[in-house]
Amino acid sequence: MICALCKHGEVRPGSVMVSLRRGETLVVVKDVPADVCENCGEYYLDSRTAARLYEQAEAAVERHAEVEILRFAA
């Protein structure tokens, strides 16, 4: 698959670190499985992974963390 952003790089399976900000809370999730562009670094999450990521981020927001670093749990 060719990257939709740069229209140049090849997208390959890998993992990324995703940071999400919501109000005062910054959540960083490591080791998120994603398809990553080898040219520009843009990543694509499948819908199940994205849903799981938001659940984990939401839990950190509910704990009122300011900064939370998590490892992705499938």
Are 60 and 21 in contact by the 8 Å Cβ rule? The answer is: no
Report if residue 9 touches Zn ion, rule: CB under 5 A: yes
**Kind and range of the H or E element at 52?**
helix 47-62
Task: Select from 18-26, 32-40, 57-65, 66-74 the region that touches Zn ion (CB under 5 A).
Answer: 32-40
Amino acid letter for position 54: Y
Task: Select from 7-15, 16-24, 25-33, 50-58 the region that touches Zn ion (CB under 5 A).
Answer: 7-15
Residue from 31, 39, 61, 65 in contact with Zn ion (CB under 5 A): 39
